Structure 1
Amino acid sequence: MRRASREACSVGKSYIVRLPRSSSPSHIRSVEHEDMMALHMRTAVAAFILLHTTSSASEAEASEPESAAAREREARAAASIKERERQVQRALATSLRDRDKEREFHKRDEAVQERERQVQRALATSLRDRDKEREFHKRDEAVQHFNALLADLVRNPDLTWREAKKQLKKDHRYSLAEELNKDDKERLFSQHTSALGNKRRDKLRALLAELSVGCTAHWRDVKKQLADLATAPAYRNAAQMEREFRDYQRDKQNAAKTALRQLLLETRSITHRSLAAVRDGPAAMQQIQDTLKHDARYTALDHIPEERQQIIMSYLEELEKKGPPPPPTATEPSRRAKQ
């Protein structure tokens, strides 16, 4: 296109150059000269237009096959791009589906693994509990076997563990207690001998109660009485039996003191004013004693009158500190409602 324009311009210039020149201005009129110049100019322009039109048409005819091929290439390229886009979209969709499937697979796999771990933990706990229960039963059976062995062979509460162990090992049942260690066996032996000692003590106290042995009895007299009884329990020595006798008297006396306090609680004539009356004169105390002396719980402490008197005075002081009792309606709302 540009080349055709240049050619047209050169043709126009050649026409302009070839215009005849006047030999002399005096021989040509001015009007004719202007007409001639205009004619030559129109001719050059027409030639330029014709050349431009011809070159443009020929150039269009020459470039038409090239434009069709380009359009065909562009169409093929566009189709290829669209096909590539569709392939990419399909690949992306497939990748997303694969990713979702993989994610779901991993999620299920993690859930399965977590469930397996839970089952393993539960199984481990169950196995530990079962092992503990088995060990407990084995130990319990060993304890039962050893206690049965002690009951058959150890009947003297004064026997020591060293002495008893030699005797126990001779029995074949001793091997049934292999689950127990030395400390366990010695502890069970101590419990067994302690139980035997308690039974012997209870038996002795029952005999002392049958003999009506009181708190003022002497051991020398009681010892003779027990020696004549075939049912009297055996002790390692007399001193041990005497200690049991002293403990019996002490417990009996403490029980008598407790019974006296209960008697004072049951005596309604003793009130918070009784202590003031006793301070005013001895007649009030004598009246209290006359009220109590008919009860065995009072006479049981005749051998310790000073302690008995102290118990009574302590009770009177306690009543005085508490003051008068509340009215019945204050402690019994149901009774107040009836009124």
Structure 2
Amino acid sequence: MNNNMKLDTSADAEPGAASPDPEPEAEAEAEGAESDTSEARAKAARAQQSLKEREREVQKALATSLRDRDKEREYHKRDEAVQHFNALLADLVRNPELSWREAKKQLKKDHRYSLAELLSKDDKERLFTTHTHALGNKRRDKFRALLTELNVAPTASWRETRALLKHEPRAQAYPDPDKMEREFRDYQRDRQTAAKTALRQLLLETRGITHKTLRAVQAAGGAGAAHNLLKHDARYI
């Protein structure tokens, strides 16, 4: 009976049926694992590249910061050298007529000259020129203030003014008479130009003076009427 059952079971089985093949599944799993490994390696490579780029950025920023710090330190050192040299000029150079060649000999004898070693020759000469120009402007302003104090008229000649200045100690700042005369003539020219400008403005503002005023002045042979209208204004000289 058992034999019959075995025969029946065999008879029920489909002809040509085969058991499942495990190889395709294994290959798929292997391919999946390999794909995961490649993706992981690519991800790690990207992370490594990103890290390297970040390191380069940090190094670049650090280098820039160090350069800026060095520049700032160099700027402060140079600024100190300029201050030392200007102080030296203020103490030793008081004549605006002094040449750079003459001044340099005096400056080098002072121990403070070495404090300006960061400055080039051109830098020192440029600072010297600026200093002497400032001295010249200061002397000119004092001379003009003196002329104003002495009530020198805008139409005064140099000969008249020189007589006033002959015994004036403050006029001795100009060792060169020709230089002082040039300054005087510049002063007079500036005053006359300013006076003419002020007079034109005064004429424009004075309502009593019209186009008829000129004919009246010409007919009368004088400017008496216009003078009476203008004489009380400080701009009328």
Residue equivalent to 1:261: 200
Which amino acid is the alignment partner of residue 238 of structure 1? P
CA contact (8 A) 1:203 1:233 kept: no
Q: How far apart, in 2, do the equivalents of 1:229 and 1:91 lie?
A: 113
Q: How far apart, in 2, do the equivalents of 1:150 and 1:87 lie?
A: 94
RMSD: 2.6
Residue 289 of structure 1, CA deviation? 4.7
Identity fraction in percent:
60
CA contact (8 A) 2:89 2:131 kept: yes
Q: How far apart, in 1, do the equivalents of 2:170 and 2:44 lie?
A: 86
Q: How far apart, in 1, do the equivalents of 2:64 and 2:218 lie?
A: 76
| Number of residues of Structure 1 aligned to a counterpart in Structure 2 | 221
Q: Which runs of 4+ in 1 moved over 6 A?
A: none
Residue 290 of structure 1, CA deviation? 3.7
- Note the residue ranges of structure 2 that are not aligned, 5 or more in a row: 1-15
Matched, 1:198 2:146: no
TM score, norm. by length of structure 2: 0.83
Matched, 1:236 2:170: no
Residues 176 and 112 (structure 1), Cα distance of their counterparts in 2 relative to 1, 3 Å cut? same
Residue 250 of structure 1, CA deviation? 0.7
Which amino acid is the alignment partner of residue 291 of structure 1? L
Residues 198 and 283 (structure 1), Cα distance of their counterparts in 2 relative to 1, 3 Å cut? closer
Matched, 1:163 2:102: yes
Matched, 1:293 2:231: yes
TM score, norm. by length of structure 1: 0.59
CA contact (8 A) 2:213 2:226 kept: no
Residue equivalent to 1:225: 164
CA contact (8 A) 1:200 1:233 kept: no
Residues 118 and 293 (structure 1), Cα distance of their counterparts in 2 relative to 1, 3 Å cut? same
Residue equivalent to 1:85: 24
CA contact (8 A) 1:158 1:236 kept: no
Matched, 1:94 2:33: yes
Q: Which has the larger radius of gyration?
A: 1
Residue equivalent to 2:216: 282
Matched, 1:172 2:111: yes
Q: How far apart, in 2, do the equivalents of 1:194 and 1:292 lie?
A: 41
Residue 92 of structure 1, CA deviation? 1.5
- Note the residue ranges of structure 1 that are not aligned, 5 or more in a row: 1-70, 301-339
Residues 219 and 278 (structure 1), Cα distance of their counterparts in 2 relative to 1, 3 Å cut? closer
Alignment of 1:2-151 (within 5 A): 75=19, 78-79=20-21, 82=22, 84-151=23-90
